[in-house]
Structure 1
Amino acid sequence: MQPADNTTFADEVRLSFVASLYQKRGTLAAGMVAHLVTTLAIYLRIDDPFYLYAALALFVTWAARTLDMMAFDRKDKSTFKLADTLRWEKRYVAGSLVAAFILGTVCGHALVMAQDPFAELAAISVTIATMISVVGRNFGSKLNVDMIILAACLPMMAGFLMARDPFMMVLAVLLLPLFLTTRSMANGVRDFLFNSVTAERKTAEIAERFDTALNNMSHGLFMLDGDGRIEVANRKAREFFSIDRNTDLTGRALKAALRLGTRNGVIAKENFGQINQHLDSLVSGRDDRALVRFDKTTWLEFTARYRGEKGVVLIFEDVSERIQSEKRILHMARFDNLTNLPNRSWFKEVVGMKIASAKPGQQLALAVLDIDDFKHVNDTMGHVNGDKLLCAIANRLRSLSRPKFVVSRFGGDEFVLFLPEVKDLDDLHATMDHVIDTLRGTYIIDGHKLFISLSGGVVMAPVSGVQIEEMHIQADLALYEAKRRDKNRWTLFEASMDQRYSERQGMKAALREAIRTGAMDLFYQPMFNTQGTRIVGAEALSRWIHPELGPVSPAVYIPLAEEMGIISELTRCVIERALQDAANWPGNLQVSVNLSAHDLNDRAIISVIADALDRTDLPPGRLQLEITESGLMNDLKTAREILTELRSMGLSIAIDDFGTGYSSLSYLDMLPLNKVKIDRSFVRDLTKDPKKLKLLRGVVHLARELGLEVVVEGVETEDQLVMISENNCADIIQGYIFGTPMPHGSFIELANKLSSNPRRLSVVGEAEQVRKSGN
């Protein structure tokens, strides 16, 4: 709608005023009759033909105006412009002017010519009456008002003046206030009506805007009076309550809308009472906001705006999606998105609440469960199937979890189980045995059968003073102990585990420091020709002397270094030290160094070896690298590429402990090898078991067919040596029969001794004496 004070609106009002001139033609006809009767009566009174002609003129004027009005009626006013309005206004004014002028002339003629009291009184009366009608009928046009008054009054004033009677002249003068008063009254009526129409239009405009805004709100609205009855309900409110728009809610209690909503299925019947209570609290002023549940999925949030004694406005919106989103966000914050088990933070919160509500003296237990060899599942079947396995285990955990249990996934393949009430150790054993038995077994993952076992660590403690973080650490220690004991079991935490853990952590720190400072020692086990008369090289073996514990077995600290991720640093230390020592050895003795699985997965080992060779000027042919099958299993392709590049540098490559794995024969063909070191298991009981000799001879024959040199390890007795020599089963001998691992000084002494006097060492004894003298 256009604003009320603009040009378009003014044109519309002017058109309406002009149209009012053309309406109510019955009054115009009544005036015409009065005029005719008056003029004819004067004619009959004084027998003056002028009045007969005046009556005829008045009738003709009335007829012409009536026809003009009928033409106006036929016009389409919606197409009118201002020019059209002004044209029809002027046409009407012209008709009014003619009629008024005729009346004024009749009046003036009566005053000047007739000289008859009746004629004068009748003419003046009808003329004055016509002027007064201007206020009631012709106010719609200011021009029309002026023209009628002038046309009627001027002839009458002229008649009074022409009478040359002082009293008549006074009456002529008094006609001027009548003219002005009549004009003012007409204009006042018109202005009043214009202002009224303007106010009405503005009110309608505001009401329409309010109605549009009210009914296009995204919120529902109920406006209640002081008695709590509905004054206004917008369209959204009706939609929320599914109330037909034809249903009149005005004057009805808010409970009526609730009943309609219940009848229409919007409100669950069982929620009606609670919803009514919420709304009563809002209307009464006890609450100003309320979240109301209509059914299982629908929530409305109400806000009250109070109007004092006039009542209250209730505004509400559908917040169902927001509530659902908040629930989803809360669920995501509390639960693991893969297994849908409680995550670490929510687990701790729930456990904290259960601990707070526990009875004094109550026993608690915390179990940490870990899938055995889960990394192998991920490596062989992919992480997607690994995730499916975790979900399957989580489902089994949920199936056995009693309501008092709290089960969580902390990440990876680690699951945590909290038992808030444990009667005694027997109860704990029964529960944990049931848990492990339920979880272990066969799982079908992507069509593949997987047998899964789990290891667990459990700690039990009284509720008083318990710290869940400390219990978790202790359960982890028990889990480590269970895995150390061959897995597939659960272990209860003991105080000694904490001590062992502390000792192990201390040993880790000491080992890291020993590798960082180069405090690791190297021992060398010599390798001989089959006659035992000449040393061909030595295997470098690291040794660690702990400052407090003394010598630590490689079987202890090497796995520790792998666990800590510093095995490559240990390898680098051994390579640098071994190459420095070998650079001073007599002749062309070869030094052999072992590479770990981590070394064979990282191309950095190539740079480490190349840099060490450059610094020591040791010919590459004097360095031999030993690898084991376990070091090849993780990434055979990368290991083969690294070994091929090292072999191209002139280094020798030997596979160590050959024959102890499942894929040894395939490795002989796939890898760039120079030597095969046959494991000591082939030599043990060689003189007692004829099958061992046949097996040894077969392996040696295969290696030589492939052009590989054969090193036999673990030769300890003369009988073993004789049998190996007689059957030509070795190119190089390494074993205690000729020498045990010895310090560098002892090895140099032995090498120099045999270099100056090549001869066969006495079995075991002489080399051992040299080693001891070096110590």
Structure 2
Amino acid sequence: LGFAKDVTEEKTTSQRLQFLAHHDPLTGLLNRTRFGEIVDHSVAAGASPAVICIDLDRFKVVNDLYGHAAGDEVLIDAARRIVEASSCPVARLGGDEFAVLVNENGAAGRITRRIVEVLARPFNIRDLGVEISGSAGVAVHQSDTAVGSDLVLRNANLALYRAKHDGRNQWCFFDPAMDNAAREQRQIEADLRTALARGEIHVEYQPLADAITKEIVSFEALARWDHPRLGRIPPGMFIPVAEESGIMPDLGHYILEAAVKEAATWTPELRIAVNLSPTQMDDDGIVEKIASVLRRHRLPPRRLEVEITEGILIKDTLRGVRILTDLRALGVSVAMDDFGTGYSSLNYFRTFPFDKVKIDQTFIRDMDDNPQSLAIVQAVIGLGRGLGMPVVAEGVETAEQLARLQVEGCDVVQGYHIGRPANIESFKDGMTLQRADAVATLATASAMATSPTRQHEAAAAD
């Protein structure tokens, strides 16, 4: 007797497992482990290869808006584009991050530029052309060191981080100064963890004024950090660090508490606006925490405004609707901040209960020279008028911009032409801090609020 065994299926399974050991199952690209081995082999052979790290700029929004199945299709398409643009070994390192090995490092710049260009083309999602784009960082292995993939990948990632920080849809080469910047970033995170306790974080206030009367109607509370060694650290540097490191809930609560406490001492006509961060919106108890702060300082809820960016709401629509509805039920008003900078949709105004919309400063800055920006400003103002919703223009820096917004019918303006962020005592003491001379101080604003004659006189003086 003889026995025969069909090993075809077993062989196929073995080949599949061997493939998966070295490749990404979704895209078929090399995985991180195999890519590192290839880089190490290249270095061991005496080469000085370049590594390109690539990250999709707006991939998270795709997952949030269209679902993970659509996200997978985007990753597959992105992988194909990168392979075709580079003709080099390509890996998916994880998530939406890819890497390319360029053995001829002199070609790295040309290849990287081509990759960024092909990723800037719209991706087809449900028959819609969605712009996602990608950023990239390039690092060349230094021949004077035996360290292989770990160091060159790290350096390429530092360059990638710089490219994304500089505006996305960009690329750059690694520079040793980036290593120092990364160390500085880690030090900032460590210092930020104790900055609140040391009293280094404080609140400054920026006025918002009626576009016609120029009377101050509210202030926005803004976090400021005066570092004992580095001096004033821009919010754009430490706020993202606070979000990523888990410090933001404590920082956000501190700003809320300080702003509400201060506003409780003002004339009743003035309102205070605070920003809610993504991590604060993730807190199931955020509405009760806000209510508790209002009760503690006896500030009527109608005098508090919370500002929320659209990106926060995309993450979890149902949660966003519930929180915004509860805030409005409490008596707090809600503003959509930075409108127009993300995946803005008119449907937001049907889905989310907003009281106010703020036009992002990028459109205000460009509207005198860019017809498209002006058209967007006009459209948002018209939308607000149709919905009975006040419209705020951010970033008003010149008299010409203010005049244009007055003509277009904007309700409220904010920016350096109206007043720079400053300690509230500056406004109480009548200091203008380089503001436009037409803008009232806090004391003048409160007096004008109760005196039509004073309002008329101020307008005539302009």
Q: TM (normalized to structure 2)?
A: 0.73
Q: Which residue of 2 aligns with 1:411?
A: 94
Q: Which residue of 2 aligns with 1:477?
A: 158
Shift of 1:664: 7.4
The 1:529/1:353 distance shift into structure 2, 3 A limit, reads: closer
Shift of 1:577: 1.2
The 1:492/1:597 distance shift into structure 2, 3 A limit, reads: same
Counterpart code for 2:135: S
Q: Which residue of 1 aligns with 2:201?
A: 520
Q: Which residue of 2 aligns with 1:283?
A: none
* Aligned counterparts of 1:440 and 1:447: Cα–Cα separation in 2: 17
Say whether residues 1:384 and 2:74 are aligned partners.
no
1:334 corresponds to which of 2, 14, 22: 22
Pairing 1:590-629 to 2, within 5 Å after superposition: 590-597=271-278, 599-600=280-281, 602-629=283-310
* Aligned counterparts of 1:449 and 1:723: Cα–Cα separation in 2: 33
> Which of structures 1 and 2 has the bigger CA Rg?
1
Alignment RMSD, CA only?
Answer: 4.8
* Aligned counterparts of 1:658 and 1:668: Cα–Cα separation in 2: 11
Pairing 1:736-755 to 2, within 5 Å after superposition: 739-750=419-430, 753-754=443-444
The 1:341/1:681 distance shift into structure 2, 3 A limit, reads: closer
The 1:398/1:523 distance shift into structure 2, 3 A limit, reads: closer
Q: Which residue of 1 aligns with 2:53?
A: 368
Counterpart code for 1:363: S
Counterpart code for 1:545: D
Say whether residues 1:348 and 2:348 are aligned partners.
no
Deviates more, 1:650-659 or 1:694-703: 694-703
* Aligned counterparts of 1:581 and 1:525: Cα–Cα separation in 2: 13
* Aligned counterparts of 1:436 and 1:697: Cα–Cα separation in 2: 33
Q: Which residue of 1 aligns with 2:229?
A: 548
Counterpart code for 1:474: N
* Aligned counterparts of 1:674 and 1:559: Cα–Cα separation in 2: 27
* Aligned counterparts of 2:317 and 2:260: Cα–Cα separation in 1: 27
The 1:497/1:699 distance shift into structure 2, 3 A limit, reads: closer
Q: How many residues align?
A: 441
SS at 1:333's partner residue?
helix
* Aligned counterparts of 2:9 and 2:239: Cα–Cα separation in 1: 58
Contact 1:364 1:463 (8 Å CA) reproduced: no
* Aligned counterparts of 2:295 and 2:362: Cα–Cα separation in 1: 38
Shift of 1:622: 2.3
SS at 1:585's partner residue?
coil
Greater length-normalized contact order (CA 8 Å, ≥ 6 residues apart):
2
SS at 2:25's partner residue?
coil
Q: Which residue of 2 aligns with 1:76?
A: none
SS at 1:363's partner residue?
coil
Counterpart code for 2:73: K
Pairing 1:218-297 to 2, within 5 Å after superposition: 235-236=1-2, 239=3
Deviates more, 1:498-507 or 1:747-756: 747-756
Contact 1:585 1:748 (8 Å CA) reproduced: no
Counterpart code for 1:540: A
* Aligned counterparts of 2:115 and 2:398: Cα–Cα separation in 1: 53
The 1:575/1:433 distance shift into structure 2, 3 A limit, reads: closer
* Aligned counterparts of 2:127 and 2:418: Cα–Cα separation in 1: 56
The 1:544/1:485 distance shift into structure 2, 3 A limit, reads: closer
* Aligned counterparts of 1:735 and 1:437: Cα–Cα separation in 2: 35
Alpha-carbon displacement from aligned partner over 1:72-95 (angstroms, at most 9, x marks no partner): xxxxxxxxxxxxxxxxxxxxxxxx
Alpha-carbon displacement from aligned partner over 1:27-67 (angstroms, at most 9, x marks no partner): xxxxxxxxxxxxxxxxxxxxxxxxxxxxxxxxxxxxxxxxx
Shift of 1:648: 0.7
Alpha-carbon displacement from aligned partner over 1:669-709 (angstroms, at most 9, x marks no partner): 554344455677898899999xx999989976865665545
Shift of 1:456: 2.8
Identity rate, percent: 38
Deviates more, 1:644-653 or 1:708-717: 708-717
SS at 1:341's partner residue?
coil
Shift of 1:436: 6.1
* Aligned counterparts of 1:453 and 1:660: Cα–Cα separation in 2: 15
Counterpart code for 1:368: C
Alpha-carbon displacement from aligned partner over 1:305-335 (angstroms, at most 9, x marks no partner): xxxxxxxxxxxxxxx8776655544443333
The 1:745/1:344 distance shift into structure 2, 3 A limit, reads: same
The 1:500/1:588 distance shift into structure 2, 3 A limit, reads: same
SS at 2:139's partner residue?
strand
Q: TM (normalized to structure 1)?
A: 0.47
Pairing 1:118-197 to 2, within 5 Å after superposition: none
